[in-house]
Structure 1
Amino acid sequence: MRLNVQPVYSIVMLAGVCAGLGACSSTSKSTAQQQPPRPEEPLVTEPADSSRIMTVSIDQMFDPATDPFLNGENNNDAWQLVESTSEAEQPPAPAYTKPEDDGRFGPNLAASLYGSLMETELPTRAEDPGYQTYNSRQVTFTGEGSDFDPTVSKDGKFILYASTQQSPAADIYIKQTDSRVVTRLTTDPAQDVMPALSPDGTRIAFASNRAGSWDIWVMPVTGGKAIQVSADAAHELHPSWSPDGSRIVFCRLGTSSGRWELWVTDPYDPMTSQFIGYGLFPEWSPVSGTGVNGADKILFQRSRERGDRTFGVWTLDYNAETSQAGHETQIVSSPEFAYINPTWSPDGMWISYAAVPNPEKWIGSGSDATPPSASVWMIGLDGRGEMPLTQGNTVDLMPAWSSTGKVFFVSNRTGHENLWSVDIAPAILTASGGSPFINGDNSGLAGSIRKVNPNADDQNTFATVPTDQP
C-alpha cells in the first residue's frame, strides 16, 4: 500500500458515493464542487450550555492546595454514553482499524488510526533504531501501548496526549513536561484522541467515537463530564481552537462530497458551523490577524488531486468577522514524501511537520517492508529555511511546538511509541541565517531564541534557552 493517497474507499461508502480521501469519480467530484457540502443533520441536537464546563485553570489543576477532581461536576459516575445500536441508514465503517497487541510493542493505535484516515499505511517501526537524533530527550516512558497526539500548554509547562498505556482503547492524559507523574483525564471504553487545549488553559477539545462515529467533544482540563459538539453520522476529527477560544476548526468526512472537509464552529452553538474548504488535520494559528486583511491563518494537509497524490502542507485565511475563507497557499510538498501532521510555532512564523518516505523507498517487501526513517521537519511560513529537526533510523511523527524552545514528537526509538523532545534553537538560527524574526516583545521565534540585551540594535545577538528540561 502506498503512503500517498490512492482513490480507494475503505473508510465510508454510502449510497454508492465514494468517500475516499482525494478525488472521486468525475461525476461526484463535479457535484461536490458546484455546491459547498452541508451536514445531513445538525451537528448537535441542541445547543450546549457553556456553564457545564468548569473553568479551573491548568495551573490550579496541579496546585496541591486545591483538588478540583473532588468537585461533583467532574464525577463520571453521574453519566454514561452508549454507542447507538440502530441507525436509519447503514452506519459508516469505523475510521480506524483496531491494532493487534503482539505483547512486545503494544497496540500501535497511532499508526493504525492516522493511516486509516489518510487511506494509507504509516510505518510502525524503522529498519534499525540504533541511529538517532542528537540532543533529543524522552518525555514519556510507556512500556506498554503507545503515547501519541501531543499538544503543549501555552506556557510550555504541561503536555496533553492520547495513550493506550492502560488499555487497548486510547484515553487522554496530562503531565508536567519535566515530571514522570501522569494524570488520566478520560476513562471511557471508546477511543479518545487528538486533544487540543484551549488558549486560556481551561478546556480540552478532543475526538472520540464514544457515541458511534467520530465526533468532537469538549471537557474541562480536569477531565470529567464532556459535552458533545458534533453529533451527525459523519466522522469529525482533529479539533483546534481559535486564538480567542471562541471557535474550533475540525475536519469532517463528508458523506456527500466523499472528501475530508474543513469546518469552523462555535463549540457552544454548533448550529453556526461553516464549511471553509477541503483538507485534513487543521490547526488554527495561535496568533490572530496574520492573514490577508487581518484574517487568521489555518494550517492543514491536503493530497494532490492528480499524479502521485502525496500530501502537502497548506494554509488558508479565515476572517471570523466576515465568515470568509480563501487565499489557499501551499507551503511545501514533495513527490517522494508524504508531509503530514503540520503544526504551528507559538508565534505563527514557523511550521513543523512529519515527512514519511513513499513505500518505494522502504526496505524489504510485503509485511516485512520497513522505511529507512520518518522524520520531523520545520519550514518558515514564507517557505524558506526548510530543514530536519530529527534524523536517524527512527520513525518520528506528530510534532508539537512548545514556547520553551522545544518540539515534542512521537518516536518508536525505544521499541514503543513514546513522546520525545528536541531543542530547536540551533535549527532556527541555521534556517534563518542568524537573523530570525523577532516579535515586538523580543520573545523571538516560538520563545526559543531571546535577545540578550533588549536595548541592543544588533538583532544577531541571541542566546538559546536552557536545555536542562526534557
Structure 2
Amino acid sequence: MCRFHIFLVAILVITSGQFIRAEQRPIEFKDMFAMGRVANAQISPHGKWVAYQATYYNVEDNSKNADIYLVSTDGKQHKRLTFDPKMDTSPRWSPEGDRLAFISNREGTSQVYLLNLKGGEARQATDIPTGVNSFNWSPDGNYFAVATDVYPEAESPSESAEMEEERSKDLATGKVIDNLLYRHWNSWRNGKYSHLVVVPVEGGEAVDITPGANDTPPISLGSD
C-alpha cells in the first residue's frame, strides 16, 4: 500500500509541472491551485496501466476542470485521454481492459461515457434523467450498475425526474421533517434516496433494482 501511495505522489509531481523551476522561491498560495489534484487511480486488469483523474483549478474564473489520464505502471509512458472543459471523473476499466468508462457532465447532467482505448472519441453510454453519482461495470462487461438519487415512490429515474419538475413549480420553501436523519453533513435530505439501477452498456432503459425508502449504498455516518 505504501508503494502505491508513493506512486500516486509521483503522478502528482509529473502532472503539475510546477516543481520544476530554474529558480527556487518559497511556495505561494497560488501554487497550491496550480498543482493538479490526482484522484480515482484505477489499475488496469492486466496491471500495465493506471487510469486516474487530475483536477485543475482556475482562481480567476472560480472554476475547475478534470480530465482522464493514463500512466504506465513502470512510469515510462504518460497519456492524456480527455480534453473536454467540463468535469471528466471516476475512470473505470472494462473487465477486458480495452475500454474506459468515466463520469462526465458534458451535456449538463452527469452521465457515464465510454472510451475505446484502441481509438475514437468518447461516447455517452447512459441517459439517466436523474444523473449518475457513481457506477461500476458488471463482471461480464455488458452492464453498468449506477447509483442515482430518486424519489422512492417513483418507479423509474424518468418518473422521478418528472416529479422533480412538478415539485420545482411549488413556490413554498418550507420543509416538513418527519425523519430523524433530516440532514447529512452540510446538505438537507430532499425526499430522495440513492438507488442502484442497471443499464446496458450499449444503451437501454435504467432498471431500479433497489426500490423503496432506503439508500444504496447506505449513507456513512462515520468520521472517515
Q: TM-score, normalised by structure 2?
A: 0.61
- CA shift, 1:166, in A, is 8.9
Q: What is the Cα-based RMSD across aligned positions, in Å?
A: 2.5
The residue aligned with 2:208 is 275
Q: Percent identity?
A: 28
The one-letter amino acid of 1:275's match is: D
Partner residue of 1:175 out of 71, 75, 95: 71
**Which residue does 1:302 correspond to in 2?**
218
Give the aligned partner of residue 207 of structure 1. Answer: 103
Post-superposition CA distance 1:409-435 (Å, at most 9, x none): xxxxxxxxxxxxxxxxxxxxxxxxxxx
Query: 2:36 corresponds to which residue?
Result: 145
Structure possessing the higher relative contact order (Cα contacts under 8 Å, 6 or more residues apart): 1
Aligned to 1:163: 54
- Consecutive unaligned residues of structure 1, counting only runs of 5 or more, are 1-132, 281-300, 304-308, 311-336, 339-355, 357-470
| Number of the residue aligned with 2:27 | none
Deviation at 1:222, TM superposition (A): 4.7
What is the letter of the counterpart of residue 203 of structure 2? D
What is the alpha-carbon distance in structure 2 between the residues aligned to residue 229 and residue 279 of structure 1? 24
Aligned length: 155
Once residues 258 and 248 of structure 1 are traced to their aligned partners in structure 2, the CA distance between those partners, rounded to angstroms, is 21
**Retained in 2: the 8 A contact 1:206–1:238?**
no
Name the amino acid aligned to 2:200. Answer: D
Which residue of structure 1 aligns with residue 88 of structure 2? 192
Measure, in 1, the Cα distance between the counterparts of 2:50 and 2:106: 23
| Aligned equivalents of 2:97, 2:2: Cα separation in 1 | 32
Task: Work out which of the two has the higher radius of gyration on C-alpha atoms and give 1 or 2.
Answer: 1
The Cα shift of 1:227 comes to: 2.2
How do residues 44-63 of structure 1 correspond to structure 2 at under 5 angstroms? none
8 Å Cα contact 1:205-1:239 kept in structure 2: no
Q: Deviations over 1:15-53 (max 9, x none)?
A: xxxxxxxxxxxxxxxxxxxxxxxxxxxxxxxxxxxxxxx
TM-score scaled by length of structure 1: 0.31
Partners of 1:169 and 1:198 in 2: CA distance: 24
Distance 1:279 1:221, change over 3 A: farther
Distance 1:175 1:208 in 2: 20
Residues 185 and 223, structure 1, Cα contact 8 Å, conserved in 2:
no
Q: State how far apart, in whole Å, the 1-side matches of 2:215 and 2:73 are.
A: 31
Structure 1 residues 173 and 215, CA gap change in structure 2 (3 angstroms): same
Aligned to 2:95, what secondary structure does the other structure show?
coil
Amino acid across the alignment from 1:146: R
Question: Would the alpha carbon gap of residues 178 and 279 (structure 1) be closer, same or farther in structure 2, given more than 3 Å must change?
Answer: farther
Amino acid at match of 1:247: Y
Give the CA deviation at 1:266. Answer: 0.7
SS in structure 2 of the partner of residue 155 of structure 1: coil
> Equivalents in 2 of 1:245, 1:191: separation in Å?
24
Per-residue deviation, 1:215: 1.0
Q: Answer whether contact 2:126 2:199 (CA < 8 A) is retained.
A: no
